[in-house]
Amino acid sequence: MSMAEKRKSTAVENQRKSRAAVRRVLERHKVYVVSRRFSDSGMSARVLIDGEYYDVNERELSRLEAGARPERDLALEPVRDA
């Protein structure tokens, strides 16, 4: 395999990896922080994900922002009074 072919192969593979990474990001749920509350016990937030509101603590918010799903991964229930 010539140097030109190796470079082309590497470029194609890099493009595939890049597209796969973009696809994974787009498949994640968007997390909108509606409000944050701070107290002696820490931070809590109300977030909006796919039309549902959730009350979460700092750790849960970090996991949601990393791609976790509220019901499946964190066993969160939507807030009904939102």
Q: Show pLDDT as tens, one digit a residue, over the chain (82 residues).
A: 666 666 667 888 888 998 888 887 777 778 999 999 999 989 999 999 989 999 999 999 999 988 888 998 999 999 987 5
C-alpha–C-alpha distance, residues 24 and 27, integer Å: 5
Same domain membership, residue 23 and residue 49? no
Q: Which domain holds residue 12?
A: 1-29
Structure tokens at 64: 């949601």
23 and 36 together in one domain: no
Sheet holding 42-49, edge to edge: 32-39, 42-49, 52-57
pTM of the model as a whole? 0.65
Beta-ladder partners of 36: 45
Are 20 and 41 contained in the same domain?
A: no
CA dist 22 → 25, 27, 32 (Å) = 5, 9, 20
Total of domains in the chain:
2
Residue 11 tokens, joined: 């470029």
